[in-house]
Structure 1
Amino acid sequence: MYSYCPEVKMRAVLVLAGLVALATAVPHTHTYQTKTVDADFVLKQKKVFSLFHVPTQVDHNAEYYKIATEYDVEAHIDNYTNKKAVEEFFTLKKTGFLPRNYPFTIFYEKHKQEAIALFHLFFYAKDFETFYKTAAAARVYMNEGTFLYAYYIAVIHRPDTQGIVLPAPYELYPQFFVNSPEWFKIFRARMQNSLFDKENARRHGVIEESNAYVFYANYSDALSYPNDEYKLSYFTEDVGLNAYYYYFHAYFPFWMDGDEYPVMKERRGEAYYYFYQQLLARYYLERLSNGLGEIPEFSWRYPIKTGYYPPLVYHYPLAQRPNDYQIPYKKHINELQFLDTYEKTFIQYLEKSHFKAYNQDVDFRDYKSINFVGDYWQANYDIYKVHPKKYHHSYEVTARHVLGAASEPVDKYMFQSTALSFYQTSLRDPLFYQIYNKIMTYIYEYKQYVTPHPYEELHYTGVKINNVHVDKMVTYFDYFDFDVSNGIYYTVDEYKSNKFPIYKIRQPRLNHKTFTVTVDVKSDIEGEAVVKLFLGPKYDSNGYPISIEESWKYFVELDWSVHKLTPGQNKIERASTDFYIYKEDSLPVLEVMKYVEEGKIPIDMSKKHDYMPRRLMLPRGTKDGFPYQLFVVVYPYVPPTEKQDYARDYFTDNKPLGYPFDRPIYEPHFRQPNMFYEDVKIFYEGQDHIYKYNDYTYISHQNEVNKH
């Protein structure tokens, strides 16, 4: 006989409520804008996708395998526009390439050499057919990590693959985006080939839905972040944010020669600075919403306060770094000396106000010198190829190695991975933001040499902003599905039948309700004008009002648009769904293929790979509304020069990136009729603790993700 226990009954009620809620918690569907493509494009798209399918395995019945066994790159050297690149590839091959099923990182010198050599093969193929055959051979015989890295970047940069849709990095490399507890559930379901006990599986966040296994996943908690940084895991582990960082690298690889590839050499360093400045500003706004304050600083000489235990496995578990980690000085003496010298060398350049060496003469008082400064801190190819020996030693890469807390490589291929070893996982580590905040600190020192924008330059004669109205800004979490089947190993029978089980992760992600910004402009003139919107802090981390002379570097650009002003009153409305520099979430490859079969592709995935996810536009805010301020500026539109036409996604007019917050400001110059400051609050609707969305003991009807 069992006695009555209220606690047991209550827990049973919670579990039952959780199961009901879990069954009804599904991701929102979106309407995607598409464009029509021709038959030749459809064929290219299908071929490109075919080489991305389950890269850890080789399908001996696939078209690419037949091509790989028959095509000889060396015998077809005339099919490449750069024969020297082909010769260098095979010279390097004599020393042995990274075998398949070994971990790969672009931050390990030997791996980098092989990846660059393979990229050159892809890039210099004289036509698409040669490119595809070369890629098919690499797909079969090269390390899968090396192949995916070089192939992805080649598709982005080759002229004949412009507009081709690429899989989202989290679908291509799911092991970098899904924590090990979820993989345990996935592999268990895979081994069982079903859910033996569906009710028990549902209790643990595993269900079958539409011929797919769906696994509800949480973000990392205090076990991974032994500090307050766990409060930000919903942001730093967001799959879209981490994909955004990978896209940035794919467009601007540090090893790429700006003279040979279209990477905007003239403003490459400026793009580097602007990307990290905006990323850190967005991160800072999220910290404010969670009461975490300033981005911590660190010293190479003292213990690193911020630890991190990544719950990821890439061939092997990633290395862990405890709180108060002391960098082993003897072990890293050369690296630490290099880092210190690199920083001091830059300061010495600044004190002289110019850099003059290797046919370069840079005046740091010229705002265009940001290109040299960005190149210097990225340590990209353009800054080092003028060196007599083409010496290359990267501050970024060295810092990642020293701070990752990994052991030394045991041979030319094997290394211990850390979160900082990959672009796909770097944003998870709180120390990433501290590294780049340190770099930005040095760049801000340089910015002090640049003259602030004068009043006359900022002024727009005859134009005044009378008022700005902003709808209520509300954030919430909704569920998002992404396909992780590329992380699974399939059987011979599944390959023969061409029927593959689908495995999905379902995770709550930050989002916001649509809002509109209305700008009332009185104009005495007629002409095209740019309207820019920025979001920045109203108060500092201690709750005190912060002047714009201090906070300019924490303003995030929300929108850029051009409007025709007419004499009189002009009402300009911008819906958040139209903000220029954001994109919708990527569709799964299976969904994209449905469009391709109809001769269509999603526009955002074709043209906006490297845009910030639209859902992450706003920081989370608080339930009572967290105060920020919106800055609006109107200025005359002047199109970019013809030389920049290929880069209009980045350089939309003739102003510096981030204008007018591209340099330190003098506040009296920012009190102009064509500028407006509007106080706003961002309200959060949902659970205080994100994990409650996917923990069955907490799920109940009132805890479901809000419907919007």
Structure 2
Amino acid sequence: MKTVLIIAGLVALAAGSFPVYKHEQVATKKLDEKLHDFQYKALSLLENVVEVYEQAEYYSIGREYDIEKHVDMYTDPKAVQAFLVLWRAGVTPKYYLFSIFQERQRVEAELLYDLFYTAKDYDTLYKTAAWAKVHLNEGMFLYSFYTAVYHRPDTHGIVLPSPYELWPQYFVNMEVLYRMVSTQLFNGEFPEETAKATGVFKEQNSYYYYYNYSDQMSYDNNEHRLAYFTEDIGWNSYYYYFHTNVPFWSEGDQTLGPFKERRGEIYYYFYQQLLSRYYLERLSNGLGEVPRFSWFAPLRAGYYPYLYNSYYPFAQRHNYYVMGTPENEEYIQFVDTYEKSFLQFIQTGQFKAFKQEVDFHNSKSINFVGNFWQGNPDLYEKEGRSRNYEQSYEKIARRLLGAAPEPYDDYRYIPTALEFYQTSLRDPVFYQMYAKIMNYIVEYKQWLEPYNQDDLHYVGVKINDIKVDELVTYFEYYDFNVTRAMYFSYEESTVGSHNFFVRQPRLNHKPFSVTFDVKSDVESEVVIKLFMAPKYDGEGRLLTLEDNWMNFVELDWFTHKLTSGQNKIQRTSDDFFFYKEDSVSSGKIVELLNQGQVPEDMSEDYDSLPSRLMLPRGTNGGFPVQFFAFVYQYEALQPEYKESSYVVDNKPFGYPFDRPIPVPQLFFQPNMYIEDVYIYHQGPEYPWWNQYPEHTNAVHNH
């Protein structure tokens, strides 16, 4: 038998037409010395998500630690007692599926989060985490610990592994997991022909698996064209991070601080940007508008995820799935009533409920509207009652659309892609669901008075031109570590067992710059914004601002000091405010940590979108989009926001596209500029064009 090691050189040399991206150079920052010890310990707790090793340091600590005897080591003793009552009553068993959308599991995870969050010091936090790692369900432990570390003020700057390294099974389908398990079972001994046919090779002590995206077997209705985007590990991690930052079950005081009063606005802005970016990708692939659906009609969008989470395979939804069954009757009544209630309030221009009176003419009422659709605790704050998440629009909508049968009990249920933040964006109906919610919020925004000339015109400042470098996208291979999807003995994990990597084509673009030509009559500090939007709709019709204002993707947001006269301001795509570098592997994190450093973006901007996803995939002839530039006067941040890295000024998120534009001619001002640009694509138009025709998930020329 020839092993894959023998053909490693052949495979590596015949890597196809895509370049292989090596993320070796990364911006770093010095880690605060007081965090060093805990940073190492946090990584050790996450080294293997599912398995608990009795020989590990955390095991003896977790076995011996007694939470009840150390109640004084937590700032909220009531939270400790509440958790202990639940613990004695029984919690999710180990090795069971965990989803934050299952009500009983949400309660448990929230109380565990409170334990982590209220631990008085690093030592108590580590001991509590070790106890939870040993005693509790691994999914619940990971969710609560991950969320608490990112919210505790004293752990700011800690770097945790990316979601796709912690939960690889949510980011690759069963086909590649099968190849990995086969490799482990056969100790890597494959006939040369088998290794070449299945895209497996070995370098040093690591196995690599060429893996493409899901095809027509998972997606009907041509939705498979978007799989390279909707299944992208960076795109799905971005969504997971958002809900780590803004959990639907959390009170805004604790998780958002001064941004509590803008929670609903944040909700709307995030989903508006997410859907706008998705819409651009649809258009570039010729798929047109995001389809609409009705709760009372068959759901056209089928989805066969082929995901497996070590316990159960994910539920499948066939085309024209009928939701209106007797089992779903109450759920459909609820979501339908929820929508109609909102429309009734919209028709009157005000909302009176939950001991609140909301005037929809007021632009700040977006905070209430966003909270209404998320159904978070801040919506019910003035009532003084806790939220019943069983009656959550988002939760019930996900359950209906996911097409899984009713849960057997609190802990046994068939998973769906919509029940996990790591997998939600893979399902085409996700975008249809949130497009429905955004349409309702846009209905509310029709009550807002449009911006007028006095609001938008910056006297004495004019944008003469903006110049954009040629925009070019391409696919490249990227290696990411999926070893945590495998099982190892303690000896294997300590003596350097094999690592497992997936090599997958992904979307990227060439670096580019944008130059703003601005004339100013005076010296002044200004804010400059840059947006991108589609030029034509799915039918090829020219889009006007009246119909397109909600589709603008915000690329950059920065301050600049203008001098009197002509100003040339250049920004590179690497500078853009809303984006970050790619995350690095756990191994690279440890390597940098040994030097007292951590990856800067993973420490400070972990929740931003990877910059390589900034542009939609271009076309050979050029995909037309519009770049919109806007310059306006800077106003100093309000005191409560000065320490934040999330905002540049006090304007609403998405300004000036946070309100409708009924008359575009009254909207345009000299301090604005729109430039038509084209995005080109180099290389194969789709990643699967570079693979064996007879293998749907292998990559060609290996």
> Above 0.5 in TM-score?
yes
Distance in 1 (CA, whole Å) between partners of 2:11 and 2:240 is 39
Aligned residue in 2 for 1:20: 14
Tell me the equivalent position of 2:501. 504
Does residue 626 of structure 2 align to residue 629 of structure 1?
yes
CA shift in 2, pair 1:502/1:635, >3 Å: same
Closer, same or farther: CA 542–653 of 1 in aligned 2, 3 Å: same
- Counterparts in 2 of 1:646 and 1:357: CA distance versus 1, 3 Å: farther
Q: Give 5+ residue unaligned stretches, structure 2.
A: 1-9
Match of 1:384 in 2: 380
Q: Which residue of 1 aligns with 2:429?
A: 431
Q: Map Cα deviations across residues 557-608 of structure 1 (whole Å, 9 max, x no partner).
A: 0111111100000000011111111011100010111000000011100011
> For the residues of structure 2 that align with 1:337 and 1:210, how far apart are their CA atoms?
58
Q: Quote the residue 2:232 is aligned against.
A: 238
Cα gap change, 1:313 to 1:281, in 2 (>3 Å): same
Tell me if 1:482 matches 2:480. Answer: yes
Alignment counterpart, residue 414 of structure 2, candidates 409, 413, 416: 416
Whichever residue aligns with residue 108 of structure 2, its letter is: E
Amino acid aligned to 2:268: Y
**Aligned-partner Cα distance in 2 for 1:382–1:287:** 35
Letter in 1 for 2:353: A
Give the AA of the match of 2:550: K
The answer as to whether partners of 1:459 and 1:672 remain within 8 angstroms in 2 is yes
- How far the C-alpha of 1:525 sits from its partner, in A, is 1.0
Q: Residue by residue, what CA displacement relative to the aligned partner does 1:465-501 show, whole Å, maximum 9, x if unpaired?
A: 1111111100000111110111110024314x44231
The Cα of 1:359 is off from its aligned counterpart by: 3.6
3-state DSSP class of the match of 2:253?
A: coil
RMSD over aligned CA atoms reads 1.9
Do residues 638 (structure 1) and 635 (structure 2) align? Answer: yes
Any idea what SS the aligned residue of 1:332 has? helix
> Which deviates more from structure 2 when the two are superposed, residues 233-242 or residues 29-38?
29-38
- SS of residue matched to 2:326: coil
Q: Aligned residue for 1:85?
A: 79
Structure-2 residue corresponding to 1:274? 269
CA distance in 2, matches of 1:539, 1:24: 30
Q: Could you tell me how far 1:198 is from its partner in structure 2?
A: 4.2
Which of 280, 283, 298 is the equivalent residue of 2:278? 283
Secondary structure at the aligned position of 1:92 is classed as: helix
Shift, 1:17, TM fit: 9.7
Q: 1:59 aligned to 44, 47, 53, which one? A: 53
CA distance in 1, matches of 2:24, 2:689: 25
The corresponding residue for 1:442 is 440
Equivalent pair of 1:217/1:694 in contact (CA under 8 Å) = no
Counterpart CA distance in 2 for 1:597 and 1:499 is 18
Query: 1:552 pairs with 545, 549, 553, which one?
Result: 549
Contact 1:27/1:478, CA 8 A, preserved across alignment: yes
Which of 615, 620, 623 aligns to 1:618? It is 615
Q: Which residue of 1 aligns with 2:317?
A: 321
Could you say what secondary structure the match of 1:304 adopts? Answer: coil
Structure 2: distance between partners of 1:28 and 1:678: 34
Following the alignment from structure 1 to structure 2, what is the Cα–Cα distance between the partners of residues 640 and 98? 45
Q: Which runs of 5+ in 1 are unaligned?
A: 1-15
Match of residue 185, structure 1, among 159, 179, 204: 179
Contact 2:559 2:648 in 1 (8 A): no
Is 1:41 equivalent to 2:39 in the alignment?
A: no
Q: State the TM-score, normalized to the length of structure 1.
A: 0.94
C-alpha distance in structure 1 between counterparts of 2:114 and 2:599, whole Å: 29
Q: Give matches, 1:65-144, under 5 Å.
A: 65-144=59-138
The corresponding residue for 2:360 is 364
* Other structure's SS at 2:519 match: strand
The 1:261/1:511 distance shift into structure 2, 3 A limit, reads closer
Measured at CA, do residues 172 and 694 of structure 1 come closer, stay the same or move farther in structure 2, by a change above 3 Å? farther
Q: Write out per-residue CA displacement over residues 156-201 of structure 1, whole angstroms, 9 at most, x where no aligned residue.
A: 0011100101111000110100111100100000111223334531
Query: Are 2:660 and 1:664 aligned?
Result: yes
TM-score by length of 2: 0.95
| Paired AA for residue 467 in structure 1 | D
> Secondary structure at the residue paired with 1:21?
coil
Give a deviation string over 1:77-136, Cα, whole Å, max 9, x none: 011110110111011123211111111000000110110010001001111111111011
Distance 1:389 1:565, change over 3 A: closer
Q: Structure 1 CA distance, aligned partners of 2:599 and 2:284?
A: 33
Seq. identity, %: 51
Which stretch has the larger CA shift, 21-30 or 669-678? 21-30
Alignment partners' CA distance in 2, 1:322 and 1:220: 16
Secondary structure at the counterpart of residue 145 of structure 1: helix
Q: CA deviation at 1:334?
A: 1.1
Partner residue, 1:574:
571
Q: Residue 398 of structure 2 corresponds to which residue in structure 1?
A: 400
Contact preservation (8 Å) 1:470, 1:518 = yes
Q: How many residues align?
A: 686
Q: Distance in 2 between matches of 1:663 and 1:704?
A: 51
In the alignment, residue 348 of structure 2 is paired with which amino acid?
Answer: K
Contact persistence 1:420–1:432 (CA under 8 A): yes
Matched residue, 1:531 = 528
For the residue of structure 1 that corresponds to 2:383, the secondary structure is: coil
